[in-house]
Amino acid sequence: MSLTKEQEELYKKTMDEAKLQFENIDTEMEQEIQKTREILAGLQASKKHFQQIYEATANLLGIEVEVENDGQGEDDEAETDDDKGEKKQSSSKNPEEAQEKSS
């Protein structure tokens, strides 16, 4: 099956447009990745600040808390549900300890 001149031009035009869109997607993906990195950096900074506030206020109240060692946020993703459960259980003891100390 051979193509007519018009069909061949249409397909070449379609191919060129598809190639242009294909190349532009890489640029758009990079831009979106960069935006996400910036948002993540802001959230990590907020987490660090709130952790400092939390630890400082606990220290002022004389409450001993477990300090979460933050390995630049990458280790948090590897944390299993069991680890989270253990942390929640150990941190839930702290308010009880605080009530016992204040009584």
Q: What residue ranges do the domains of the chain occupy? A: 5-102
**Average pLDDT of the residues of the chain:** 78
**Which tokens belong to 58?**
């606990």
**Residues 6 or more apart from 44 whose CB is under 8 A from it?**
72, 73
pLDDT in tens, 6-21: 999 999 999 999 999 9
Separation CA 91–CA 80 (nearest Å): 17
Mean pLDDT of 39-56: 96
**Which tokens belong to 71?**
């390995």
- CA-nearest of 29, 94, 13 to 102 is 94
Asked whether the whole model's pTM tops 0.85, one would answer no
